Chain A
Amino acid sequence: GENVEQHPSTLSVQEGDSAVIKCTYSDSASNYFPWYKQELGKGPQLIIDIRSNVGEKKDQRIAVTLNKTAKHFSLHITETQPEDSAVYFCAASTPDGSRGTSYGKLTFGQGTILTVHP
């Protein structure tokens, strides 16, 4: 099955700096890569995602890049703010070809605790 490794496990930055979180995956058939932000006591919130036919996607201060050859993808947050402090999870999804659907089990990385200091 799919295996997702996420680094670093903790990341501390100063407000205004950039933050980068990296993930690698093992199954070359994986075709969907979401990123979730989880604040204390809340459920994971989908913040950005990318599909395997795209190399980069941006949404304001956040961006995700995908390198299918190397099987890794990264989350980039620019101009970080204290409210960006949270746990960030990457995930990978492999399509269920036998059923002809988009469904693929989401396999999550272990998470990165991001702290943005004012």
Chain B
Amino acid sequence: DAGVIQSPRHEVTEMGQEVTLRCKPISGHNSLFWYRQTMMRGLELLIYFNNNVPIDDSGMPEDRFSAKMPNASFSTLKIQPSEPRDSAVYFCASRLNRYTYEQYFGPGTRLTVT
């Protein structure tokens, strides 16, 4: 079975540009999470969806960040405009539903903003 799929795997962009990260959760999973990993802050939750609805976006750092989940099999995380401090690895994870605990992570997107 395919796991969580993320694209692109690597993204290099210049400050001020728009960046869009994509995620396809495991088929049949109804919960989706976006995380950011940096050396300084470790793994931190940005936003969580359940049945395509954003439930908790308290971790989104600022208005430059936005996330959408138009359907059960696709989500995007957009940064506009991007800044060098946004450089990090962004992970998407999915979970079967809100009544289960186990989260499964994708391979991540390494974002570098110059």
| A, B assembled together | yes
Partner-B contacts on A (CB < 8 A):
32, 34, 36, 41-46, 49, 51, 89, 93, 99, 101-103, 105-106, 108-111
Q: In angstroms, how far is the closest chain B Cβ from the Cβ of A27?
A: 15
Contacts of A51 in B (CB 8 A): 101
User: How many residues on chain B are close to A (CB under 8 Å)?
Assistant: 24
Subset of 13 A-B contacts with CB under 8 Å? A36-B105, A43-B91, A43-B93, A43-B108, A45-B105, A51-B101, A99-B98, A101-B98, A102-B101, A103-B31, A105-B56, A108-B43, A110-B42
Q: Is the CB of B101 within 8 A of A34?
A: yes
Partner-A contacts on B (CB < 8 A):
4, 31, 33, 42-45, 48, 50, 55-56, 91, 93, 98-108
Answer whether A34 and B102 are a contact pair too, CB < 8 Å, given A43-B91, A103-B55, A108-B42.
Answer: yes
Q: How far is the CA of A41 from the CA of B107 in the complex (A)?
A: 8
Point out the residue from B33, B45, B99 that lies within 8 Å of A102, measured CB to CB: B99
Contacts of A44 in B (CB 8 A): 43, 91, 105
Q: How far is the CA of A36 from the CA of B104 in the complex (A)?
A: 10
Q: How far is the CA of A92 from the CA of B42 in the complex (A)?
A: 14
Point out the residue from A34, A106, A109, A110 that lies within 8 Å of B45, measured CB to CB: A106
Q: In angstroms, how far is the closest chain B Cβ from the Cβ of A4?
A: 9
Q: Which of A32, A43, A110, A111 has the most CB of B within 10 A?
A: A43
Contacts of B98 in A (CB 8 A): 99, 101-103
